């Protein structure tokens, strides 16, 4: 049994000052469909500092997964084009050669997914699959690769790794498979780990183990983490910064604490208000009326305005992601709105599910 600790307050990755590890500028992704070319995401701007842990949150279809995939150029077949830049240590990942990309993918930037079973090959041992990354990217002997694999399996908390290294994926439980995926992604010591819903398929007690592992690894080896999730609780426990996406755009970018306590965008506030955790038991849950606009008929201006309780005249105008004192928000009314966050109303209702101390 171990004792977990919540994510530290404040971005130790330091948003300002330190040179960012990765800068995404004006990123947009287009897809070919039978109805023509659709713009899935647009004008995505954000930085990730070395060692920083950033959560990308949003509901299904908001473009968070495709943004993660586009960083590694793992794009589906109907992909029609990429706009903007993804600067990673001086290299533009959006336009670099396939050869350059291969040298980065898996070595300097790694990715893990929701369902480890579909990411692991059932006919190879887990040891083989972890060492494969190492052998592709480095000149390393079989023995050395095996020794490093063993060390990594131990590092991700797999008991008796000498025995597990020769197991096949089906012999492992869901939590152990995700640990194996994390071991494989970290074996080359990447500077950035992109984790797309890494715990969504896991039980809550196992989820706590994996989140603790990710946080721990990021802290000890200074690996930046880009955690893509729909779960605001997961972000609060793991990350220091939170980027909220809606309908293919970044709509808010702030430290986790700021975003939870005082969200600036009505959508972020609405999401927080709709969580049952924050609502008096048996009370009515606030919800956001309507639904996300279809990708085929995106409105002009603010994409959230049809569902927004604060929509006003100027919302038809294009919304820029503007600076709001060290954080950014895509809403021209942010300064005049005083939106509730996770602590409003304050008091016992704010935290009903707390284990006794």
Partner 1 sequence: MTATSTEPREPIVSVRDLQVRFQTTDRRATVKAVDGVNFDVRRGETFGIIGESGSGKTTIGRALVFLLKPSAGAILHDGVDPTALSRSAFRSHRRDYQIIFQDPNAALNPRMTILASVLEPLELARVGSKAERERQAREALERVGLPQEFGARYPHQLSGGQKQRVVIARALTLRPKLIVCDEVVAALDMSIRGDVLNLFADLQRDLGLTYVFITHDLAVVSHISERVAVMYLGQFVELGPTEEVAERPLHPYTIALLSAEPRPLPSSMRTDARIVLQGEVPSPIDPPSGCRFRTRCPHAQPLCAERAPDWRELTPDHWVACHFADRPNFSPN
41: left (phi over 0), alpha (psi -120 to 50) or beta: beta
Question: At closest approach, how far in Å is the CB of 87 from partner 1?
Answer: 30
Residue 206 or 324 with smaller CB distance to partner 1? 206
Q: How far is the CB of 96 from partner 1 (least distance, A)?
A: 35
Q: Check if the beta carbon of residue 31 is closer than 8 Å to that of residue 219.
A: no
Least distance to partner 1, CB of residue 330, Å: 17
For residue 338, count other CB atoms closer than 10 A to its CB.
10
Write out the DSSP string of 127-183.
HHHHHHHHHHHS---HHHHHHHHHHHHHHTT-SSHHHHTT--GGGS-HHHHHHHHHH
Residue among 179 and 328 whose Cβ is closer to partner 1: 179
Q: Whose Cβ is closer to partner 1: residue 178's or residue 319's? A: 178
Task: Name the residues that contact partner 1, by CB under 8 A.
Answer: 1-9, 59-60, 173-176, 203-209, 211-212, 230-238, 256-257, 260-261, 270-272, 274-279, 281-282, 284-288, 291, 342-343, 350-357
Q: Least distance from C-beta 189 to partner 1, angstroms?
A: 25
**Helix (H) or strand (E) run with residue 57 in it:** strand 53-57
How many whole angstroms separate alpha carbon 4 and alpha carbon 259?
23
* Nearer Cβ to partner 1 (115/212): 212
Maximum Cα–Cα distance across the chain: 67
Q: Which of 240, 236, 189 is nearest to 48 (CA)?
A: 240
Can you give the C-alpha Rg of the chain in angstroms?
21
Question: In this complex, which beta carbon is closest to partner 1, that of residue 90 or of residue 283?
Answer: 283
Q: Which is nearer to partner 1, 75 or 261 (CB)?
A: 261
Q: Among candidates 164, 169, 175, which has minimal Cα distance to 209? A: 175
Q: Does the N-terminal peptide bond of residue 171 adopt cis geometry, omega within 30 degrees of 0?
A: no
CA angle (194, 71, 211) in 5-degree steps: 10
Query: How near is the Cβ of 26 to partner 1 at its closest, in Å?
Result: 27
Contacts of 354 (CB under 8 A, 6+ apart): none
Name the minimum Å distance from CB 85 to partner 1. Answer: 31
Nearer to partner 1, 33 or 100 (CB): 33
**What's the token pair of residue 323?**
């600076």
CB of 213 to partner 1, least distance (A): 10
Q: Report how far residue 115's alpha carbon sits from residue 174's, in angstroms, rounded to the nearest whole number.
A: 9
Min dist CB 129 to partner 1, Å, is: 21
Based on CB atoms, which residue is closest to partner 1, 232 or 251?
Answer: 232
């Amino acid at each position: 049994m171990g004792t977990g600790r919540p994510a530290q307050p404040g971005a130790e990755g330091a948003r300002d000052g330190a040179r960012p590890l990765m800068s995404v500028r004006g990123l947009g992704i287009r897809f070919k469909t039978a109805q023509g070319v659709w713009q899935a995401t647009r004008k995505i701007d954000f930085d990730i500092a070395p060692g920083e842990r950033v959560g990308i949150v949003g509901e299904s279809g908001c473009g968070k997964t495709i943004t993660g995939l586009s960083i590694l150029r793992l794009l589906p077949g109907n992909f029609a084009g990429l706009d903007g830049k993804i600067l990673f240590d001086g290299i533009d990942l959006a336009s670099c050669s396939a050869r350059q990309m291969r040298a980065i993918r898996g070595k300097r930037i790694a990715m893990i997914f929701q369902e480890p079973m579909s990411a692991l090959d059932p006919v190879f041992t887990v040891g083989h699959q972890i060492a494969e990354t190492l052998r592709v990217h480095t000149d390393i002997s079989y023995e050395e690769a095996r020794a490093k694999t063993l060390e990594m399996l131990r590092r991700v908390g797999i008991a008796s790794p000498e025995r597990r290294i020769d197991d096949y994926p089906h012999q492992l439980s869901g939590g152990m498979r995700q640990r194996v995926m994390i071991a494989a992604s970290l074996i080359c010591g990447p500077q950035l780990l992109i984790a797309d819903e890494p715990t969504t398929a896991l039980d809550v007690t196992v989820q706590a183990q994996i989140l603790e592992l990710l946080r721990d690894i990021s802290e000890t080896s200074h690996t930046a983490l880009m955690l893509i999730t729909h779960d605001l609780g997961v972000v609060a426990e793991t990350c220091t910064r939170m980027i909220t996406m809606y309908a293919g755009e970044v709509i808010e970018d702030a430290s986790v604490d700021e975003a939870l306590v005082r969200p600036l965008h009505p959508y972020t506030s609405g999401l927080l208000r709709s969580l049952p955790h924050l609502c008096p038991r048996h009370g009515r849950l606030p919800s956001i009326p309507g639904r996300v606009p279809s990708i085929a008929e995106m409105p002009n201006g603010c994409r959230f305005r049809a569902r927004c309780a604060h929509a006003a005249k100027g919302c038809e105008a294009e919304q820029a992601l503007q600076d709001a004192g060290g954080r950014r928000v895509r809403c021209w009314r942010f300064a005049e709105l005083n939106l509730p966050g996770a602590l409003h109303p304050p008091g016992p209702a704010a935290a009903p599910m707390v284990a006794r101390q």
